[in-house]
């Protein structure tokens, strides 16, 4: 059984990453997770100036996203969106591995993806 794609981008997320790529001099947007927050983990994003040896590269709709190796099992099957409202705009992760989120929305509880038998 094939594993799902690590990360898919919506049209809005791909457009935003392409805009950032056009303004920057790096190789793409690096996405990861780290321990922290009241729910246990937080998503991280930074502009990547180079591909690290174990980064997973996702190219979707003309956008390039690099996934940190330690985040792969937590992001497997995730859809990344970009949403804009009157008060805020930003990337949103629709993650099937997310168990819960804190009330403030800054941290999440994520379980590693189960691999097929």
> pLDDT digits over 74-102, tens only?
899 899 999 998 888 999 999 887 776 76
Taking CA atoms, 52 is separated from 33, 59, 94, 96, in Å, by 16, 16, 25, 26
CATH number corresponding to 8-110: 2.60.300.12
- For residues 47-71, average pLDDT: 92
Q: Where are the domains of the chain?
A: 8-110
64 pLDDT above the threshold of 90: yes
Q: Which of 30, 4, 12 is nearest to 80 (CA)?
A: 12
pLDDT digits (tens, 9 = 90+) for 45-57: 999 999 999 999 9
């Amino acid at each position: 059984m094939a594993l799902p794609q690590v990360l898919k981008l919506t049209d809005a997320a791909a457009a935003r990453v392409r805009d950032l790529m056009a303004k920057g001099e790096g190789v793409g947007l690096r996405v990861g997770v780290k321990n922290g927050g009241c729910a246990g983990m937080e998503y991280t994003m930074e502009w990547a100036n180079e591909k690290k040896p174990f980064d997973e590269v996702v190219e979707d709709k003309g956008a390039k996203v690099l996934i940190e190796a330690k985040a792969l099992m937590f992001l497997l099957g995730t859809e990344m969106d970009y949403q804009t409202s009157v008060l805020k705009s930003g990337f949103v992760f629709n993650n099937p591995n997310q168990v819960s989120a804190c009330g403030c929305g800054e941290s999440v509880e994520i379980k590693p993806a189960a691999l097929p038998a």
